Structure 1
């Protein structure tokens, strides 16, 4: 009898363990290259989901080669797939335009937004010694743009747009060497795009002293990008706000994800954002007002949460 009783208890315990294991929801979160700020964000979100749901949701972070790849993988992924990309790319994918021309797929129509994450923020960083305080002052200076990145492309576009083409020297230096090049006088400034506060801008401001340029309202309009204001005190020596531009970035999934999982992911994200902000300041720049940057449908599970908290939603989100 004792043996049978022990076996019964053991079997019951095994059943409970099996039930607990099966209750865990597994999600794959695909963001950016390892070592980038967006990969670090993905890791933070993964840890926040585990803590915020007491392990009910397990998020595995996958390295990505870029936003376009993230969108393309929707075609072969299931309901556990979450990825990040600028909202504009969703419209391009669904319309089969630009980099998605000839690569259209019905799966793109099933993409749904969950929540905004820190935006790609443009920084035009000039050494204090250069004396540059506006774009007009950049004439005759040496600027590092880097190559192949959004920041490099956007920086080159702004230089031409603001009448500086052929009036500045573009340095042939990798962006990874920007801070050291600024310190030793190889360059007068560099352009970088990333979530603010950007690590390389923090380092440059602390080690050499810099001025991060502000765009005028007219210049912001000219770029056709989203305006973003970096608060005073974000960087060492920064006494006033910096007006710049940004490329919004959002976490998406598809209609294959069930409503409850989307709800829990969204709810946990917002409820743990303050705690994540204590570890990385870039989360402080995210608010529910940034839902206005989402130009396509939001997942019904996420909408359920946003309605609960009275967040601003538009007809395009439904």
Structure 2
């Protein structure tokens, strides 16, 4: 074998060893497959696949909840993206509440990418109930549901506003809220999710409802973020609804390389309006939600925000 032939063979071997396409694989852990947040994850995965011409491949993983998503940071690699409220990240990093005794250095490496639709509180009352505000709830039958964020949060609000002992809690599953409202079994129900919420859309269109607004004083009592649902979001809604929300954000860790974090963040924002054409909940996401990110943002995502001229706080950098 001549020297030239050996050199050519070595070059061919080296080329063969290189990947044919630099595909980036990402695992996106969201929520239960029946939830709107899982559907959001599917939309994001499709947007990433299309916008990157297949160079970014996102696999969706079902989750049992936000706490699980955070806990898995300890064993995950550079491809891990997950959704959770920023408040849970703060608790994990501080080893508090459900993370007490479960602290891990990996929690300190969590970094934000972009906000997604917030968990938004809806206090939905039938028109027949005549309720115009929380002061009208005394003597009414309210469905809270069980085990969900909306149920826990709703019960907390009723207690804060001095209404807990003045209403009757209905023993009905939240999935049956709209039929129960239609047949007069309940006067109203409490639900939390992205807006417009499908069950509220159905109730407003089929039976007529009023979604109650909270005063600034009541919002301060809840210690949650203020959120305004624009007039016209639901059938018959002539005015803005002022309520509370629990921000939700897509996170990764410092293990992710800067370029991947940049591409994920850029692709999300550039395709958000397109996703909103088929799922209106994306209309609830704008740069104003960036202020709800209380921790640090990934350096790759920071690059995008600086390019886009989106203002960030010193704490986020």
Normalised TM-score (structure 1):
0.94
> Structure 2 matches for 1:120-135, cutoff 5 A?
120-135=119-134
1:70 matched to which residue of 2? Answer: 69
Point out where structure 1 has 5 or more consecutive residues left out of the alignment.
1-11
Q: Is the 8 A contact 1:121 1:193 kept in 2?
A: yes
- Residue matched to 1:4: none
CA offsets per residue over residues 50-108 of structure 1, 9 Å max, x none? 11111110000000000000000000000000000000011100010000000000000
Describe the SS at the equivalent of 1:84: strand
Shift of 1:19: 3.5
TM-superposition CA deviations, 1:150-190 (whole Å, max 9, x none):
10000001111111111000001110000011011110000
Distance 1:279 1:16 in 2: 43
Alignment pair present for 1:45 and 2:57: no
Superposition pairs of residues 1-318 of structure 1, within 5 angstroms: 19-21=19-21, 23-318=22-317
Partners of 1:38 and 1:109 in 2: CA distance = 25
Write the distance in 2 (CA, Å) between the matches of 1:53 and 1:17. 24
Residue deviations 1:254-293, cap 9 Å, x none? 0000000000000000000010010111101111121110
Which whole-Å CA distance do the structure 1 matches of 2:148 and 2:58 have between them? 27
User: CA distance change for structure 1 residues 229 and 18 in 2, over 3 Å: closer, same or farther?
Assistant: same
How many aligned residue pairs are there?
Answer: 305
Distance across 1 between alignment mates of 2:20 and 2:281 = 35
Structure 2 alignment gaps of length 5 or more: 1-11
Alignment RMSD (CA, Å): 1.4
| Deviation digits for residues 2-58 of structure 1 (CA, Å, limit 9, x no counterpart) | xxxxxxxxxx9xx7997444x110000001000101000000000010111111100
Normalised by the size of structure 2, how large is the TM-score? 0.94
Question: Within 1, Cα distance between the matches of 2:165 and 2:296?
Answer: 43
Q: Deviations over 1:202-239 (max 9, x none)?
A: 00001100000000111111111000000000000001
> C-alpha distance in 1, partners of 2:264/2:39?
18
How far, CA to CA, are the matches of 2:311 and 2:72 in structure 1? Answer: 30
Identify if the C-alpha distance between structure 1 residues 143 and 278 changes in structure 2 by more than 3 Å, giving closer, same or farther: same
Partner of 2:5: none
Q: Aligned partners of 1:20 and 1:176: how far apart in 2?
A: 48
Provide the rounded CA distance (Å) in 2 between the counterparts of 1:301 and 1:276.
23
User: How far, CA to CA, are the matches of 2:17 and 2:157 in structure 1?
Assistant: 58
Query: 1:38, 1:152 → 2: CA distance?
Result: 18
Deviates more, 1:227-236 or 1:159-168: 159-168
Which secondary structure does the structure 1 equivalent of 2:116 belong to? strand
Contact 1:181–1:187 (8 Å) recurs in 2? yes
Distance 2:16 2:39 in 1: 35
Q: Is the 8 A contact 1:289 1:312 kept in 2?
A: no
